[in-house]
Structure 1
Amino acid sequence: MSSVSPTPDQATVTTENNPSAFLSQIIGNKVTVKLSSGVEYKGDLQCVDGYMNIALEKTQELVDGELKHEYGDVFIRGYNVLYISAD
């Protein structure tokens, strides 16, 4: 029996309806994480869990679009996250 892979449209719908699938696809990629305070972190996504806790590497902290700090590793608690965007 052969398996049928989803068409690109089906894959898009699945990812759009499932944030976990989207997040697992972008692990290792550059992302922007915006916090409810307005601060943004840009870095390489290393892991994310079901509570939206996020680990980033090579991270930059931006306040009002201005670079404030650079960090190696950053852990962000999920309750602070407004959104995650793939860069």
Structure 2
Amino acid sequence: QRERERESGVWFGLTMAMGMGEEKGKESGSGGEGTSSKTSKTPADFLKSIKGQQVLVKLNSGSDYKGVLACLDGYMNIAMEQTEEYVNGELKNKYGDCFIRGNNVLYIHAKKV
């Protein structure tokens, strides 16, 4: 029961954030408060901008996956390339390609270039 709620909460939270953020960006561009849609960044904008870049994906289990973000979808399912798996900070495996189911993702961190 709790796992199902967590799964739907993650999906719903991401969907709502993406949908509401897009609306918010549109509204902010028309307002006179000095905020433009170019400066506001929604979660969807962030995820699009890091495609093809080095990322760190932290899982609920505590494992880290480092690699190149190939693609992701609205459920936060992630495909990565040149992936390394770290458990407790120690390199455990290297994968050419890797797929991570979205409900396992705690966060995605874009590495600074």
Tell me which of 51, 70, 84 is aligned to 1:46.
70
Which structure has more helix as a fraction of its residues? 2
Give the aligned partner of residue 37 of structure 1: 61
Return the alpha-carbon distance in structure 2 between the equivalents of residues 54 and 60 of structure 1: 14
Q: TM-score, normalized by length of structure 1?
A: 0.83
Q: For each residue in 1:35-76, what CA deviation from the matched residue of structure 2 results, as whole angstroms up to 9, or x when unmatched?
A: 000000000000011000000000000001110000000000
Q: Which has the higher contact order (CA 8 A, sep 6+)?
A: 1
Tell me which of 19, 38, 45 is aligned to 1:21.
45
Unaligned runs of 5+ in 1: 1-5
Q: TM-score, normalized by length of structure 2?
A: 0.65
Shift of 1:84: 0.1
SS at match of 1:20: helix
Counterpart residue type for residue 58 of structure 2? K
Identity %: 58
Counterpart residue type for residue 72 of structure 1? G
Return the alpha-carbon distance in structure 2 between the equivalents of residues 64 and 71 of structure 1: 18
Moved over 2 A (4+): 9-12
Shift of 1:20: 1.1
Shift of 1:28: 0.3
Tell me which of 42, 57, 73 is aligned to 2:81.
57
Return the alpha-carbon distance in structure 1 between the equivalents of residues 82 and 98 of structure 2: 8
